[in-house]
A and B are shown apart, each in its own frame.
Chain A
Amino acid sequence: MSECALPVSPPPASLPVQTAPDAAPLILRFEDVGKAFRRFEHKPFLLRNLLLRLTGRAQRPREMWPLRHVSFVVRRGETVGVVGPNGAGKSTLLRLVAGACYPTEGRISVRGRIAPLLALGAGFQPDMTGRECVEVNGTALGLSAAELRARLGDIVAFAELEDFLDMPVRYYSAGMLARLGFAVAVHTDPDLLLIDEVLAVGDVAFQHKCIERIHQLQRSGTTILFVSHDAATMRSLCDRVLWLRDGHLHRDGPPGPVLDEYLAAMG
């Protein structure tokens, strides 16, 4: 979304955050955020249901809240891990931060450029070449034409795909797609990088390269929000861990104690 074209809102009445003078600025803020999906067994768009709705006899669609009443803040430069069992709302949380869907309740506030690494390797159309995929994704993530030209070499070198750049991605292997997706996202100079269990793809060498790149981004002050089931990686990368349970924020604290408690609870 081009931010220039957006309406400017009046200043909010009350802000629940008091900033300590020495603390890094906030980059992400969730205020009582909830996201509802209609349950799919309802099939709200079938003709029969449409007719029932018009005659006022339809039941209200059942709603599912993968995330509700979640409030937290992230400061610039932090690396925050998100843990929780399947279905706890981790991916929904990242999608909300990425702006790929709107909250149903509450307010999400972000500053700066966000690069999401969600469902890696997707986002590409089979008939486009590697180069076109980099262009489309990089531009959609906010890179201008000049920035894109300057970075294309770095991106392709990082993905190790120099020889395949002008080949349609339908001929790429899953690993090649994953590498390209990761390379684009980490080269967009994000202020906030979102990572959703993507380090499980690629071979060991590429995984090491990814971790190395994440460390480098951390050192340069990039904020990272990171979903993983791998407690060891999380301990080594994160400053803080959020534990989601049934769509609620269960714990928010330093990685050691929170992860110990989480692993104990999961058995």
Chain B
Amino acid sequence: MAEANRQGERALPNWWVHRTPEGIFIGPLDGQMTPGRAELQRDRRVATPLEILRVLTRADFRARYRAQALGVLWSLLYPLVMMGILSLIFARVFRPNVVHFPVFLLIGLICWQWVTNSLSAATQVFIQHADIVKRTVFARQLLPISAVLSYAINAGIESLVLLAFVPFFPEAFRLSPALLLVPALLLVLGALLCGLGMATSVLNVLYRDVAYLVSTGLLLLHWLTPVIYPPEVLPEPYRSVLRWNPLGAILTALRRAIMLGEAPDLLAWATILLPTAAVCLVGGWIFRHYEHMVLDYV
């Protein structure tokens, strides 16, 4: 009853939320001033985006490994096994011109795991969470973003394996100021994945084909991105074109920062940031444009 009393005293917010075919708007009460931003932010009737993101990501991550004996260890196994196989094959058969090839591979494979897993998850996120989406109002952009974040936790755990390799390949790791760029590069990679995920998540509700398109596209992208080969093996016209693939550019920059202690040059930053910004803008536009249709079709 105490709770009920407190609730009875609480005032309604001093503004309307208008829902129209064009979208959602804040409007003033009849005969009053338009509420200021500070006033809107004081309102505690909505959870902040960060709170929603935290809860969604944690629940998603924990639910994924429920009823599994090894749980998150499975995500360690895959890059390790791949690394073992590929190191053997490449070392024997193709003789790549890369020093410390296992470390080179592991960095690529960990990032690529993040890319494939988070994009596949983000594509399905509206269908998976259809019930919450149909019943509640919150910034639904947070759903694909939380899918990307929950696989970022996996990538973080897998990076510990990379650390475990430091004693075995001491010369493969260069302690340098360039290491400070690694979090920034991972942040850019995360933004890129969020941009892609926002687009695929809404499109997959309208056309369920998109999930297949994404898995096929990822397979193609895997070979167009220098994940398991160095970009130097590509012949020239292709190499100049493919360097604008932001995934490959980020991977190369990460490897250079970790293994050589080199910061990306201006052109490298351009090949990382420009395509990423474009993907995020287009992905955000697609999301906004189709979100209301998604609510009818999901």
Question: Is B289 an interface residue, CB under 8 A from the partner?
Answer: no
Give the residues in chain B near A112, CB-CB below 8 Å: 12-13, 45
| Chain B residue with the shortest CB-CB distance to A104 | B21
Given A127-B67, A132-B62, A145-B51: A189 in contact with B7 (beta carbons within 8 A): yes
Give the residues in chain A near B139, CB-CB below 8 Å: 1-2, 5
Question: Is B71 an interface residue, CB under 8 A from the partner?
Answer: no
Question: Would you call the interface of chain A mostly helix, strand, loop, or mixed?
Answer: loop
| Chain B residue with the shortest CB-CB distance to A114 | B137
- Complex CA gap A191/B15 in Å reads 14
- Complex CA gap A219/B5 in Å reads 9
How distant is B36 from chain A, measured CB to nearest CB, in Å? 9
Give the residues in chain B near A160, CB-CB below 8 Å: none
Given A99-B19, A110-B19: A136 in contact with B12 (beta carbons within 8 A): no
- Complex CA gap A95/B295 in Å reads 10
- Complex CA gap A8/B66 in Å reads 43
The answer on a CB contact under 8 Å between A7 and B63 is no
How distant is B140 from chain A, measured CB to nearest CB, in Å? 8
The answer on a CB contact under 8 Å between A103 and B19 is yes
Most chain-A Cβ atoms within 10 A of its Cβ — which of B23, B55, B136?
Answer: B136
- Complex CA gap A37/B293 in Å reads 10
Q: Which of A104-148 contact B (CB under 8 A)?
A: 104-114, 116, 118-119, 122-125, 127-129, 132-133, 135-137, 139-145, 147
How distant is B286 from chain A, measured CB to nearest CB, in Å? 15
Give the residues in chain A near B138, CB-CB below 8 Å: 1-2, 139-140, 142
- Complex CA gap A142/B47 in Å reads 5
Q: Which of A2, A128, A154, A217 contacts B63 (CB 8 A)?
A: A128
How distant is A99 from chain B, measured CB to nearest CB, in Å? 4
How distant is A70 from chain B, measured CB to nearest CB, in Å? 13
Given A11-B34, A45-B207: A103 in contact with B47 (beta carbons within 8 A): no
Give the residues in chain A near B296, CB-CB below 8 Å: 37, 101
- Complex CA gap A99/B207 in Å reads 23
- Complex CA gap A136/B54 in Å reads 10
The answer on a CB contact under 8 Å between A11 and B27 is yes
Question: Is A201 an interface residue, CB under 8 A from the partner?
Answer: no
The answer on a CB contact under 8 Å between A111 and B17 is yes
Question: Is B44 an interface residue, CB under 8 A from the partner?
Answer: yes
Given A3-B43, A4-B37, A6-B24: A140 in contact with B52 (beta carbons within 8 A): yes
How distant is B5 from chain A, measured CB to nearest CB, in Å? 7
The answer on a CB contact under 8 Å between B19 and A96 is yes
The answer on a CB contact under 8 Å between A132 and B40 is no
The answer on a CB contact under 8 Å between B7 and A3 is no
Q: Which of B247-295 contact A (CB under 8 A)?
A: 292, 295
How distant is B295 from chain A, measured CB to nearest CB, in Å? 5
The answer on a CB contact under 8 Å between B12 and A9 is no
- Complex CA gap A112/B16 in Å reads 8
The answer on a CB contact under 8 Å between A113 and B45 is yes
Question: Is A168 an interface residue, CB under 8 A from the partner?
Answer: yes
| Chain B residue with the shortest CB-CB distance to A168 | B66
Question: Is B46 an interface residue, CB under 8 A from the partner?
Answer: yes
Question: Is A221 an interface residue, CB under 8 A from the partner?
Answer: yes
Question: Is B30 an interface residue, CB under 8 A from the partner?
Answer: yes
Give the residues in chain B near A143, CB-CB below 8 Å: 47
Q: Which of A30-65 contact B (CB under 8 A)?
A: 37, 45
Question: Is B35 an interface residue, CB under 8 A from the partner?
Answer: yes
Question: Is B129 an interface residue, CB under 8 A from the partner?
Answer: yes
Give the residues in chain A near B18, CB-CB below 8 Å: 9, 107-109
Give the residues in chain B near A9, CB-CB below 8 Å: 18, 25-27
Q: Which of A150-197 contact B (CB under 8 A)?
A: 154, 168, 189, 191
- Complex CA gap A100/B58 in Å reads 24
Q: Which of B21, B134, B135, B136 contacts A103 (CB 8 A)?
A: B21
- Complex CA gap A7/B133 in Å reads 22
The answer on a CB contact under 8 Å between B13 and A15 is no
Give the residues in chain A near B7, CB-CB below 8 Å: 189, 220-222
Give the residues in chain B near A217, CB-CB below 8 Å: 4
The answer on a CB contact under 8 Å between A140 and B132 is yes
- B residues near A (Cβ < 8 Å) are 1, 3-5, 7-8, 10, 12-13, 15-21, 23-28, 30, 34-35, 37, 40-41, 43-49, 51-52, 54-56, 58-59, 62-64, 66-67, 128-129, 131-139, 206-207, 292, 295-296
5 extra A-B contacts, CB within 8 A, seeds A4-B37, A103-B19, A136-B55: A8-B34, A100-B136, A142-B47, A154-B3, A221-B7
